[in-house]
Amino acid sequence: MRCRQARHRFTRTVGAAPGVAAGHPLRLAYADPPYPGNARLYRGHRDYAGEVDHTALIATLASYDGWALSTSAAALPTVLALCPPGVRVAAWHRGERPTASRWPLNAWEPVIYHGGRPNDPSRPTGATRRLDSLIHGVSPMTTLPSRVIGAKPAAFCRWLFDLLGAQPGDSLDDLFPGSGAVTRAWTAFTNAPDPSPQALTDTSRPSPRDATPHRGDAT
């Protein structure tokens, strides 16, 4: 019962895409690797393979029509230096994590993005209003202990899809699926039937293939 309610909440938050886009479908990708220097937090995960080679990752992303890459504010300068010209940076304000720090607490996560679909000038401005900033807090206190570190909430996923101008008919490769939340959100967004058993779970629930005790927030 709780599962069904969580799925309903998640799907409702993501919402469906507004309509089929004119023109050709886009190949889109989203990469949510561990923050550079923090891959060790995922030791024991099935897909753990040490530090992610961001140079190779960005080369892979560049083959898509549109892509987005989440990283940490601390790593942003280094990661940006590896990116092709024309990338943009969006900000997810997710709130701070309670931790001792001599410096201001980090409360946001950058999303580097490139390409995608621009607004259709023939549609009214209000219908296509997109923002490069999302304020949507997540509280570690409200998540299960076995939640995947860095699992993305439904509101983030919807914002991400809009950032790239995604439409039904496009494809999205979720390169670091973790809990599978982004893929589930994509299925809801494009209104396709979701055959996976994980569709019954919320982002805050452990997936059978990727469940690590929550240890703060670093991804």
**For residue 39, which of 204, 160, 182, 178 has the smallest C-alpha distance?**
178
With CB under 6 A as the contact rule, the residue among 54, 117, 152, 205 that binds ligand SAM is 152
> Which residues face 173 on adjacent strands?
29
With CB under 6 A as the contact rule, the residue among 92, 176, 186, 189 that binds ligand SAM is 176
User: Residue 45, interface with ligand SAM (CB under 6 A)?
Assistant: yes
User: Residue 151, interface with ligand SAM (CB under 6 A)?
Assistant: yes
Nearer to ligand SAM, 87 or 151 (CB): 151
Q: Return the sign of the alpha-carbon dihedral for residues 118, 76, 97, 104.
A: negative
Alpha-carbon distances of 217 from 34, 62, 138, 210, rounded to whole Å: 10, 28, 10, 16
With CB under 6 A as the contact rule, the residue among 47, 93, 130, 191 that binds ligand SAM is 47
3-state SS assignment for residue 39 = helix
Nearer to ligand SAM, 106 or 128 (CB): 106
Nearer to ligand SAM, 21 or 200 (CB): 200
Q: How far is CA 108 from the centre of its chain?
A: 13
Tokens encoding 5:
């309610």
With CB under 6 A as the contact rule, the residue among 27, 36, 48, 75 that binds ligand SAM is 48
Q: Which residues bind ligand SAM (CB under 6 A)?
A: 32-34, 39, 42, 45, 47-50, 52, 148, 150-152, 176, 178-179, 181-182, 210, 219
